[in-house]
Structure 1
């Protein structure tokens, strides 16, 4: 096997290094350079793309070729060239394409001819998706990031890291791809090069598939296209002996996920010739151009250019990406490359279609398409629908997972980042521009300076890396393992302040054999620990944990004596609490002391079904606020709150030291969900069914309770109406003889606590300064006030509209603004039939959200208010 890999690599490189080819500049009749022109070699399944300056370079073996030069709006030029061992300079001048109009009558009563063309193209889109059974491709990917503006507060720090305005960051890769229907793809990256060592953005082979209806973005070839778009026929032109129709895409409501631009459809074949479109992605601009080429009787995307730009958090940026693919070993389905005639009955009238329900049921798709050459659009849809049913049936018989929509493996060659300049000068398909060359020169100068500094200080590579170890960091060791470090001396990282412990220094260490970006290991393990010192208490706490994961099973073990928040799912970070305590006189962090041992096990054969169990025995002790709590600024309206917060149901929050044995079991089931797999890691995609979570928790020894809950959650796309998110949960402590605050059901009433369940699943007006009975003079915010130990029902529904009020204005959608209406409901022993109704504007300055809310209890109006928070 190793020898085969060596031979494969040898031929991969030798075919590139020995090649000659053509190079030059592409201009129009005025001498203006034409950037990103597509260059395709006829009959060779290969090609390239010009760079932003109109320069091109194409490696070719000795021989004679016909080379097509293609640019949108210009005539395709075919040049015959003979290649020896060297490069030939061939400058190209393209002529503007004259678009002709067919003799058609268009009036207010007549339908635009574009609709007939698009109906046929949409009907055949499934066929074009199924044409290629498998292929191999060699791809070149280049990305560049240019920061036109950096926020003033970050400019100095980023400049120290050599990230500067006007200096592009460049990344390029060369890879081999193997694809097989329906969803299998293997990518091997052989070469990586970037401006800054160790950073790459070009490891994936990504081409937009406009034959796919789309989920986040609606393709103009989607079956739902006519609900989102209008189409205008702009004429036709000839290209390589074929008629190409030019269709303008006009969105009915331009905004996120909706395209506008031009698509070119080849007459009679009804496939994509090329496409030039743009859309909005959360207020950012995305422009895309694709050029297709004829390969083995099918048209495949060969070149793609993508521009992604906008302003975000004070940054003004531009990302440019180019992808060039050269295909080989293409295997096609003969039935789907057959020439057939489509009849649009809507426009062209009915015809005698011999295809009956019986023949459709009894005949195979391949035979139907071979024997019959003329179909109505309606019947071609039926044929493809039946074909997909047959595919699913066959996959089920072979025990294949029908819900896996993609299964991808990306492997990076160990030598990928060490390829020399000779390799890149011979294999690079798209020449570097002047700015891109400067980017590499800038990066090389940084690397040289680092080497010189390293030599002068006589530090080896491992000691050099420790310079980055000052901050919170995953440090890669020589054996491929990782050491995690959280320094106790860094403010807001390991050095914090709270009202109970005062100044605390927390040292965190971890050791693991994987990171999020290197998941391909037989098994994963992670050992972590913390040592925590509280200066006011003059006490030390610590904890130790171990995680082991293999084949969907995960074992966790933990023990220690450490501080714990009353809400175990709380996301009130220590650094946030340090800031609010010192600067705003609000101590949100509520903690107790816990001496514990825990053991957990989770089993996930598939991400759609997860079973987990956990046991813990803990000695839990109360902690009190310090006598003197320091603050930088005093706020009369705030005031520090007690550390053991009261609740309506428990009353006083004080508790005695006690021992509790807690067992929890949980099942999470997401039926009928689609799954994507990347390097063995499975991810659930939005499906037609909700995620259902059943939880049971039992408290023993000093604690005595039984808790059961059922949670249902789903994200639903509503097409033109937008999207709907909902979460409903019902629960009950059917035994609550002894429930402590840390065991209660906590109600999500602020942004921080809601991060786990989703920002939408929270109550807006429950964290107002309303005093608890018996504490009328205290007006601090108490997020535990409505915690419950009884039966409860909560629901959260939010509908994000594509167009509502402000978003009726196209400019608002272009800015990325979104509007939604939401309803929150809660019924518990302390709060009866509580309802919040609100309206939100999301995406303000790409980061902020403004809400107006009103609340009711038992049908009676309570209060209203505004909330400003982070975008959802």
Structure 2
């Protein structure tokens, strides 16, 4: 690190001998600063960007230069200077753009001249979208997020940023990154992070999002999760169906006439922009733009987002983006936040020669030591000066980070964090930290600790976990955890105890294995289609004991390993001594007449309970997600998914005779699952599976093929279950079965035409589930409903068809984050 610092300082010192510093401020005629104004050296793409205080600087070798300052909506200003050995102050004062109106005759009811300009831009859009088949550039990225106000308490808990500052105005996040951005169209891109820093977090990596928000695309994705349908460009092929345009006038730069067009959505609650776009006359390319998204644009998560872009010519016929700035703002749960994310593009190579296999599965690569660069390095390469509040934030948080590593401070943080709180104790589980030792303890919540079923009666199930992180790298996979649990039924007086040890590791790809054993109570369908809380509610309040249980002494080993290229292998071996259980409790709150508890076995497929037996079962499988992309950190690789289907093949073997095992069978299953983004059309998701028994010489009911049914109000897991199917009605050991789940999320399509639904932002969802096991075991269901209710809920109306007849109807409610209630 000392050597790196010395080299950096030497380079900075050497450069300063040969280059002068040109610096100043960019304001308007009233002295108001022009935030992120662009400063360029005429005839080149060399330049910089002013900060939020309007200040900028440039390093230039001796010579004569023309310096240009420009800002969207203002007339640009040029100044010629001669650079010698001394620094030069150079301020700019820009005036609001004066527009020349063309002499056009617009008859009553005639068309605005803007429409002809936009039509020409639409015709040229495909050409400019693909004009550069490949390019490479460097991008400086600075992101900051600040608070204007925040609540003192949230969900009854005090809001504490652990910085000793109680003021309402504060910097939440500040980071800088320099990245190399490489593109080979149509689908290849790669980001290489050369240097990065996060205020107060020296071991972490900043935001690395150099992607250009290209308005030459028909459908534009801005960030993630702002709108699942994307947004329609003002020059999209179908833009005239969505926007109104107004010609504001034109101005001239370097002999080029540039038209200013006001863009207005024709309808509210469509994924549309509003604002201004400047189009060059004759060649009809984007010169610059100022566009805005709001809640009326069907945005999620944030309230507004302003986008500014400026393009500059790199040759006579090729223009490239110079700056891109995003301004988000959000008010949520009492938090009032705003920010800015500025990208400054430089060093464009529009004819790059990429090495073979340069573009691979690594989408984002962060180089070793990229977050360890000294302050002198950043001062030498930063293209825009830090603001006063940014300098203060770096100093304050870097000092706090050092203080936070003090053992006494860590103890005080533990004492504050580890105070018991009602909500986590009841609903989510309470965490207790020992920061110095990198240990975390978790106690299961009360809602998981007490339950009722007809086998055990009221029961207490107490457990938690202990996790030890084995190194100090954030996000490290090297850790182990221990999860003990104990369970006692008041009606059958059975005491059960079990434990699991899990170790996660992998220098790059994720791997894990676990060992568990003891004696425990399981559902006959080991996928647990009905949760403990749901079963308690249905059994105690409505006298419906849908869950069927057995008890087992068990030992189990499982493993999972990523091997790269989207491939994961997994498997395991388990031994169970399975003990049948009978009902011992027949009470409920209502004791409803005419309703009795059913026996503790699936009466749809069994006349009596199974007999005690032993089972030794091996399991192996492989999954492949073609086209998987990765983020490659210096110490690990993170899977970020793919646009292609996930393929999974699984195999189970019941091993007879070993350890007195009574089972003898072989079964398989092949799954295909995918989520298809149809942009404005919504999102289509599906999962289908084929499987069955290759051999079934000796199969116990626990090892049957079970389907995840549902007979309660809370929804079954979407794409993995059926919403009305009785839990065990179609369980089987057939040689072949087929299962399919399909759903389409309209994501605002259609409902944005209905005033009530567009105001409350509910989305339509529809789909179907089906299975086939044989001619006597056919079932299908269709559903339609609304999602995004209060941002977390989904309500479906479901019709079930049994052998071509409508056999049932139901309503299902799903709540994000709460699983099966």
Distance in 1, matches of 2:397 and 2:3, equals 36
Give the conservation status (yes or no) of the 8 Å contact 1:647–1:787: no
Matched with 1:722 is 682
Matched with 2:130 is 126
Deviations 1:354-403 (A, max 9, x none): xxxxxxxxxxxxxxxxxxxxxxxxxxxxxxxxxxxxx9xx98xx46767x
CA distance in 2, matches of 1:247, 1:797: 43
| Structure 2 counterpart of 1:307 | 327
- 8 Å CA contact 2:202–2:372 kept in 1: the answer is no
Q: What SS does structure 1 have at the residue aligned with 2:158?
A: helix
| 1:490-518 alpha-carbon deviations (Å, 9 max, x no partner) | 64599666765943442423345579964
Q: Distance in 2 between matches of 1:586 and 1:516?
A: 50
Is 1:58 the counterpart of 2:57? The answer is: yes
On the 8 A contact 1:577/1:588 being kept in 2, the answer is yes
1:408 aligns with 365
Asked if 1:852 corresponds to 2:811, the answer is no
Cα separation, 1, equivalents of 2:322 and 2:712: 46
CA distance in 2, matches of 1:565, 1:14: 72
**Secondary structure of 1:282's partner?**
coil
Aligned-partner Cα distance in 2 for 1:738–1:851: 40
Asked if 1:322 corresponds to 2:322, the answer is no
Aligned to 2:605: 649
Task: Please list the CA deviations of residues 537-568 of structure 1 after superposition, one character each: whole Å capped at 9, or x if unmatched.
Answer: 66643232334446658463524225464344
1:546 equivalent among 482, 503, 509: 503
Secondary structure at 1:711's aligned position in 2?
strand
Q: Aligned partners of 1:575 and 1:12: how far apart in 2?
A: 65
Give me the whole-angstrom Cα distance separating, in 1, the residues matched to 2:472 and 2:238.
Answer: 41
| Mapping 1:271-310, distance limit 5 Å | 271-277=285-291, 278=293, 279-282=297-300, 284-294=302-312, 296-297=314-315, 299-310=319-330
Indicate yes or no: 2:725 matched with 1:766: yes
- Within a 5 Å distance, the mapping from 1:718-757 to structure 2 comes to 718-749=678-709
Structure 1 residue 141: deviation in Å?
0.9
CA contact (8 A) 1:600 1:614 kept: yes
| Structure 2: segments with no counterpart, 5+ residues | 222-228, 419-429, 656-660
In structure 1, the partner of 2:577 is: 619
**Alpha-carbon spacing, 1:222–1:515, altered in 2? closer, same or farther (3 Å):** farther
Spell out, residue by residue over 1:4-23, the C-alpha distance to the aligned partner (whole angstroms, 9 max, x if none).
78625763699799985534
Asked if structure 2 preserves the Cα contact closer than 8 Å seen for 1:798 and 1:821, the reply is yes
Judge conservation of contact 2:153–2:159 (CA < 8 Å) in 1. Answer: no
Q: Does 1:694 align with 2:649?
A: yes
Structure 1 residues 247 and 510: CA distance shift in structure 2, 3 A: same
Q: Taking structure 2 as the reference length, what is the TM-score of the superposition?
A: 0.75
Alignment counterpart, residue 768 of structure 2, candidates 818, 823, 834: 823
Q: CA RMSD in A?
A: 5.2
Question: Per-residue deviation at 1:641?
Answer: 7.6
Alpha-carbon offset, residue 224 of structure 1: 5.4
Report if the CA contact (8 A) 1:47-1:326 is conserved.
Answer: no
CA distance in 2, matches of 1:728, 1:97: 61
Question: 2:426: which partner in 1?
Answer: none
Structure 1 alignment gaps of length 5 or more:
335-390, 768-782
Structure 1 Cα separation of the partners of residues 768 and 482 of structure 2: 42
Q: 1:713 aligned to 2:713?
A: no
Q: Within the alignment, does 1:703 sit opposite 2:663 as a pair?
A: yes
Distance change (3 Å), C-alpha of 1:544 and 1:140? closer
Q: Secondary structure at the match of 1:759?
A: coil
- What is the match of residue 11 of structure 1? 11
- Aligned counterpart, 1:331: 349
Preserved CA contact (<8 Å) 1:571 1:753 = no
Q: What is the SS of the residue equivalent to 2:785?
A: strand
Gap change, CA 1:265 and 1:509, over 3 Å in 2: same
Aligned partner of residue 172 in structure 2, secondary structure: strand
Q: Which residue of 2 aligns with 1:771?
A: none
Instruction: State the TM-score, normalized to the length of structure 1.
Output: 0.71
Contact 1:801–1:820 (8 Å) recurs in 2: yes
2:175 aligned residue: 173
In 1, distance between residues paired with 2:45 and 2:762?
47
Map Cα deviations across residues 24-76 of structure 1 (whole Å, 9 max, x no partner). 462355x666545444454462312442xx54343546867644333332222
Aligned ranges 1:497-512 → 2 under 5 Å: 500=456, 502-512=459-469
**For structure 1, which segment, 82-91 or 205-214, has the greater mean C-alpha deviation from structure 2 after superposition?**
82-91
Partner of 2:69: 69
Show the counterpart of 1:340.
Answer: none
The CA deviation at 1:598 is 1.9
1:842 equivalent to 2:796? Answer no
Counterparts of 1:108 and 1:222, CA distance in 2: 17
Structure 1 residues 123-162: aligned runs within 5 Å: 123-128=127-132, 130=134, 132=135, 134-137=136-139, 139-146=140-147, 148=149, 150=151, 154=155, 156-159=157-160
1:779 aligned partner: none
Shift of 1:596: 0.8
Q: Which residue of 2 aligns with 1:116?
A: 120
SS of aligned partner of 2:650: strand
1:74 alignment partner, SS class: coil
Q: Which residue of 1 aligns with 2:96?
A: 95
Partner Cα distance (2:105, 2:78) in 1: 31
- For the residue of structure 1 that corresponds to 2:130, the secondary structure is helix
Is 1:192–2:137 an aligned residue pair? no
SS in 2 for 1:206: coil
Residues 232 and 273, structure 2, Cα contact 8 Å, conserved in 1: yes
Q: Map of 1:561-640 to 2, 5 A cutoff?
A: 561=518, 563=520, 565-566=522-523, 567-570=525-528, 592-600=551-559, 602=561, 604-607=563-566, 609-621=567-579, 634=589
**Aligned residue pairs, count:** 760
CA distance in 1, matches of 2:380, 2:2: 28
Measure, in 2, the Cα distance between the counterparts of 1:126 and 1:841. 39
| 1:870 maps to which of 804, 808, 815 | 815
1:532 is aligned, of 485, 501, 511, to 485
- Paired with 2:778 and 2:731, the residues of 1 have a C-alpha distance of 15
Which residue matches 1:775?
A: none
